[in-house]
A and B are shown apart, each in its own frame.
Chain A
Amino acid sequence: MTTPQQDTVPFAPAVAEHDARLAAWPATRHWVLAGVLAIALVLPFVFQGFVVFQLTQVMIYGLAILGLNLLTGFSGQFSVGHGAFYGLGAYVTAILMDRYGVAYYWTLPAAGGVCFVVGTLFGLPALRLRGLYLALVTFAAAVALPQLLKFHGLEGWTGGVQGIVVDQPDVPGFLPIDTDQWLYYFTLAVVLVMFAGASSLVKSRTGRAIMAIRDHEIAAAAMGINAPLYKTLTFGVSALFTGVAGALGALAVQFVAPDSFSLFLSLYFLVGLILGGMGSLPGCLFGGLFVLYVPNIAEEVSRGLAGAIYGVIMLLVIFVMPSGAAGFTRLAFAYVSRWRNR
């Protein structure tokens, strides 16, 4: 394709094209999903405690990236501040459990609800601002959150610089597994539900409306789509997903502190999203893997130059797969099927 549109953003493919391709290999797709799920169910019995914890973290980061993906990949709005929603969700869980003794599973809807409301409020300035100016507003949120959490006026709730220690969730008595494994399965269940929700949202009438706004807002408005409504709602839903991820993160790490939710967390999410693949749901999990494991790998190669190696790995990935892992897989599949049909 040698159109003049070469530098447009490789978002998710248009819906029709997407469905056509899915129809071509529905069986493969279901087998792959079932296989991945089976592996996910067995993993906690193959690996030891710490690896199980890491895998739980991968899923949590994947979910946080999914939230960002709904906003950036599907709705085309920028955010460099999703770490703030992640932190907000984590703090809602920690405060409810520590100060009010709420059971851990009830804190997830609460965290999601709070983040949805705050996210929708952030969606309001997003109606007037676009691109980098919108990025600045979300960036302000990411910078402000750690300062607010440390602020002495709120210490009664947030515990100030000390943070809050979160109790371990209890394993239901009838299950013969340890806490790490229980947390893994609990996270897996939540993440599955959220991914299924995101997947049906994207395929629904609402999802098509959101993507239409992304592709051409004026044309979408001319077709009768209420752009302001969908844009603010997308912001809210996106914050909800990332907030639930934050709540799960607080349960998994069992500790929240202001400096865990710095601007860098937001940037890691963004990098994970881009390298995983803008507008792809499975790509989010690849992003989660990248965010968790690559800094560790870099650290192992050289302690002194870990940051430089991390940077070089990022560059290699982006030069090899400019549209992320999902785009790369898509291309590879297209290549294979063309080769087969010859």
Chain B
Amino acid sequence: MQLLLQQVMAGLANGAIYAGMALAVVMIFLAIDHLNFAQGEMATFSAYVAWQLLAWGTPYWVAFVVVVIVSFIGGVAIERILFKPLHHASIFANLVAFFALFSILNSADGYLWDYTIKTFPSPFGTKPLFGSVLIDAHEAGMIVVTAVLLGLLYLFFRGTRLGLAMRAAAANPESARLVGIRVGWMTALGWGIAAAIGAVAGMLIAPVVFLDPNMMFGVLLYGFAGAVLGGLTSPGGAVLGGFAVGIIENLAGTFIPYFGRDLKLTIALLVIVAVLMVRPAGIFGRSVVSRV
């Protein structure tokens, strides 16, 4: 029982990061209908920028805020420069662009900060939380930050005019344009928000997996899986999906004898495929009804 609880808590902590990535993926998906393959590399790049600021002696929370702002601007810039011209191109052209962005950022990380593994500080420390053996302070911090992020996004999309405009632009671009919403800039804003969320996720996962150019690759796989499991059209679903993937992965690794440890990623993916067989648009996703 103790072991079960421990694994569930550890799964929740990993799941918080997957949830963060899933949230970023869903933000861009809602804005442009494509999955961003380069999301993980954008987050890694942000984490490196944070590492550089910390190495120059910037206090943690100052660096944190600066990196989130820089990432936001970077995300907007990527959309304006790279993806706006491809707006009318096919989904396949977009896919190549994502892959190119992935390759460029990954290579730039290695070139600027070399490929050695770096440690990254945690703002919460790594002591057990309140003397409990179940969870340490950093893991708890990751869960809280993800929850806060989701709450802020909810308030932004439900409670502000800008959030409403973004939802309108995503739901029906033509009508949104007719009522005076600048749809192109709403898309760019979605990219910026996704980049900022990714930056937070990157800075939180770096203390756990250590900083190197490929650190986000595995995380992004889980993030995708979480987003698809929860439903690509539902930010809340994506977060739940991310947590679920974290827990499934950890429990499979611990409790399934013989296969578990080696094949935990495979098992997690199998579970997701099985869920999709029953709910083809994800658990909380809207299924698209088309007119003939």
Contacts and interface: CB of A to CB of B under 8 A. Distances in A.
Contacts of A308: 103-104, 107-108, 111
Contacts of A309: 107
Contacts of B101: 311
Contacts of A314: 96-97, 99-100, 103
Contacts of A144: 263, 265-266, 269-270
B263 A140 contact: no
A299 to B, nearest CB: 11
A91 B78 CA distance: 41
Contacts of A271: 96, 99
Interface in A258-287: 267, 270-271, 273-275, 278
A129 B106 contact: no
Contact of A315 (B97, B107, B276): B97
A139 B92 CA distance: 16
A319 B96 CA distance: 10
Interface string A304-336: 111111111011011100110000000000000
A9 interface: yes
B263 A128 contact: no
B153 interface: no
Interface residues of A, number: 49
A309 B107 CA distance: 9
A284 to B, nearest CB: 14
Contacts of B110: 304, 307
Contacts of B100: 310-312, 314-315, 318
A146 to B, nearest CB: 10
B178 interface: no
Given A136-B228, A140-B272, A274 B93 contact: yes
Interface stretch (B6-14, B83-91, B160-168): B83-91
Interface stretch (A24-32, A104-112, A149-157, A166-174): A149-157
A297 interface: no
Nearest to A277: B92
Interface in A121-151: 125, 128-130, 132-133, 135-137, 139-140, 143-144, 147-148, 150-151
Given A311-B102, A312-B104, A319-B85, A9 B282 contact: no
Contacts of B85: 319
A162 B108 CA distance: 32
A135 B211 CA distance: 29
Q: How large is the interface on B (under 10, 10 to 19, 20 to 34, 35 or more residues)?
A: 35 or more
A136 B104 contact: no
Nearest to A140: B269
A143 B276 contact: no
A6 interface: yes
B262 to A, nearest CB: 5
Which of the listed residues B90, B104, B224 has the most CB atoms from chain A within 10 Å of its own CB? B90
A153 B269 contact: no
Given A132-B228, A308-B111, A315 B272 contact: no
B63 interface: no
B50 interface: no
A47 B114 CA distance: 38
B42 interface: no
Contacts of B280: 128-130, 133
A193 interface: no
B42 to A, nearest CB: 13
B35 interface: yes
Interface of B: 35, 82, 85-93, 95-97, 99-104, 106-108, 110-111, 221, 224-225, 228, 232, 258-259, 262-263, 265-266, 269-270, 272-273, 276-277, 280-282, 292
23 contacts: A6-B88, A7-B88, A9-B91, A10-B90, A125-B273, A128-B276, A130-B280, A132-B232, A133-B281, A136-B225, A136-B276, A139-B224, A140-B273, A147-B266, A153-B258, A270-B95, A271-B96, A305-B107, A305-B108, A309-B107, A312-B104, A314-B97, A315-B82
Given A136-B272, A144-B270, A305-B107, 11 more contacts: A7-B87, A129-B276, A132-B228, A133-B281, A140-B266, A147-B266, A308-B111, A311-B102, A311-B103, A311-B107, A319-B86
